[in-house]
Amino acid sequence: MAVTNLINKSVKLFAVLLVSMTCLSAQAAVLDPDRADVLYHSYEGGGMTIDGPSVLLRKKTSESVAFTAYYYLDSISSASVDVISTASAYTEKRNEGQLGVEYLHDKTLMSFNLRQSDEDDYLAQSFSINVSQDTFGDLTNLSLGLSYGDNEIRRNGDDQFEEQSEQYRIRAGINQVLTRNLTASFNVEAIADSGYLNNPYRTVRYIDNSVPSGVAYQAEVYPETRNSFAAKFSASYFLPYRAALFFHYRHFTDSWEITASDVELGYRHPLGDSIELEFKVRYYQQSQAEFYSDLFPYRDAQNYLARDKELSDFSDITYGIGITYQLPASVSFGDTRSEASLQWDYIDFQYNNFRDPTADGGVGNEPFYGFSANVIRAFVSVYF
Amino acid sequence: MLKTLSPRITALSLNCIALLSLMGLSGCTSMGIEPWVKPYERQNLADPIMRLNRHPSASMHMAHVLEGRESARGAEGTGGGGCGCN
């Protein structure tokens, strides 16, 4: 009921602001330039290997309308600690497609986006609407957005299993030019999920002295609703020797009693006219969900049960480096401008109350789990 | 058993943003505040190296990687849409 009221209120608010924005008249802004990106991505860590291509195409059909198409493929090979403790390694593919349109009217930019993600056991469909407005001598940009998503969840090997979930999102943001070298932005987003929110393959473990191993497993049980709220502050600063410094801080809280925050510092430095270097470091930490436990004392120990490591108390740190090279005109197509980029992120995860069930030590006394991942992106961007 | 995220807090946040937005839309100039960075003073901010979303495909990939492995989501400043995976 509270969620319904919130959504109703939000839709009314959205409508009022939309009318306010479109009633303003001002000098015209411009749409982003046309571009095409072809990217190869790879993730390797924690027993998982995921890679595949993605393609992004953006084309203006006039000075006020632009279309975007996006395709993304994940080829997944998983033997993660969650899988190998209770099931077999698996491989699967996930296809994602997005179509979007942007319409610019004076200083108001409206966009509509459709998205579908499809794998053997999961179909996710969503749409989103976003409106942004330049105002106050173009020093301020205000944005609002709504999304709705519908998910169908299945379980491979069980034709009878079919569940659904829904997600509503509402977001707002303000971007402000503070000085001739500094901008800052503040974004908030509320998300309401309902339906089947479990992972249908994952189990919790509990003490069972009737079996030789002393531990038994049962299916996870999650609440059927989850309401979350996130707020993010960002700042970008232009350094006097032509380089850029970026700062982000986000705070997150939800109705499962997870509180999380992340902080990121980035630095972009050009070398000559054709090379850009990027460096970043990011730290993330979260508290556990209220119904999470690494080891329950007995079967059906509480109404809701979870042992997803993503719901445990943990932190991770990311170190990233990237290089972008502007390709010479001799290897670009026609009048286009092209760039080649390579980005590498190293992420180290350390769990504070999720133990590695494959390690020695006895039930409930195994060492805490941790792993690192390497994430690589290689891509070419063509501007035309 | 589970605390629900107070709808009041969420509604209050949204109302604050609405108020700020309407103030911004009605024009700070009506309150006697003039834009203090002139258009001809913004060449540094317009430099491509200052673009937060300089590489959109790469940003979307990294957001997808993190959303599948961390509980926090939202307020990235992009459309979002969920992990779409088990």
The domain locations on chain A are 2-27+101-383
What pLDDT does A26 receive?
A: 41
Sort out which chain A residues have CB atoms less than 8 A from B32's CB and list them: none
B2 touches chain A (CB under 8 A): yes
**In the predicted model, is pLDDT for residue B47 greater than 60?**
yes
Tokens for A59, please give them.
Answer: 């084309």
Pairing of β A108-119 and β A90-105: antiparallel
Separation between Cα atoms, residue A300 and residue A312, nearest integer Å: 19
DSSP A311: G
Sort out which chain A residues have CB atoms less than 8 A from B53's CB and list them: none
Mutate to test the interface with B, among A116, A169, A280 (most CBs of B within 10 A): A169
Is B37 in contact with A177 (Cβ distance < 8 A)?
yes
What pLDDT does A242 receive?
A: 96
**In the predicted model, is pLDDT for residue B18 greater than 90?**
no
Closest chain B residue to the Cα of A284, Cα to Cα: B70
What pLDDT does B74 receive?
A: 95
Pairing of β A368-383 and β A35-45: antiparallel
Question: May I ask the CATH class of domain A2-27+101-383?
Answer: mainly beta
Separation between Cα atoms, residue B15 and residue A196, nearest integer Å: 30
Q: How far is A134 from chain B (nearest CA, A)?
A: 9
Q: Tell me the pLDDT band of B83, cut-offs 50, 70 and 90.
A: low
Q: How many CA atoms lie within 13 A of A275 on its CB side?
A: 6
Tokens for A298, please give them.
Answer: 């007995």
Separation between Cα atoms, residue A19 and residue A16, nearest integer Å: 5
What pLDDT does A27 receive?
A: 46
What pLDDT does A28 receive?
A: 52
- Contact residues for B4 (Cβ-Cβ < 8 A; gap 6+): A2, A225, A227, A255
b/e sequence A174-204, b meaning 16+ C-beta within 10 Å: bbbbeeebbbebbbbbbbbbbbbbbbbbbbb
- Cross-strand bridge partners of residue A118: A95, A123
Sort out which chain B residues have CB atoms less than 8 A from A110's CB and list them: none
CB A85 within 8 A of CB A308: no
What pLDDT does B7 receive?
A: 59
Show the low-confidence residues of chain A (pLDDT under 50).
1-4, 6-7, 18-27
Is A20 in contact with B22 (Cβ distance < 8 A)?
yes
Separation between Cα atoms, residue A55 and residue B61, nearest integer Å: 11
Provide mean pLDDT across the span B40-62: 94
- The 3-class SS string of A118-180 reads EECCEEEEEEEEEEEEEECCCCEEEEEEEEEEEEEEEECCEEEEEEEEEEEEEEEEEEEEEEC
CB A169 within 8 A of CB A145: yes
Is B58 in contact with A230 (Cβ distance < 8 A)?
no
- The 3-class SS string of B10-78 reads HHHHHHHHHHHHHHHHHCHHHHCCCCCCCHHHCCCCCCHHHCCCCCHHHHHHHHHHHHCCCCCCCCCCC
Is A189 in contact with B22 (Cβ distance < 8 A)?
no
Provide mean pLDDT across the span B54-61: 95
Q: How far is A363 from chain B (nearest CA, A)?
A: 25
- Cross-strand bridge partners of residue A230: A189, A252
Closest chain A residue to the Cα of B17, Cα to Cα: A172
CB B59 within 8 A of CB A345: no
Sort out which chain A residues have CB atoms less than 8 A from B36's CB and list them: 139
**In the predicted model, is pLDDT for residue B80 greater than 50?**
no
What sign does the CA torsion over A210, A214, A217, A221 have? positive
What pLDDT does A122 receive?
A: 94
- Contact residues for A158 (Cβ-Cβ < 8 A; gap 6+): none
Q: Which residue has the higher pLDDT, B85 or A164?
A: A164
Separation between Cα atoms, residue A315 and residue A261, nearest integer Å: 10
- Contact residues for A232 (Cβ-Cβ < 8 A; gap 6+): A186, A187, A188, A248, A249, A250, A251, B75, B76, B77
What pLDDT does B62 receive?
A: 96
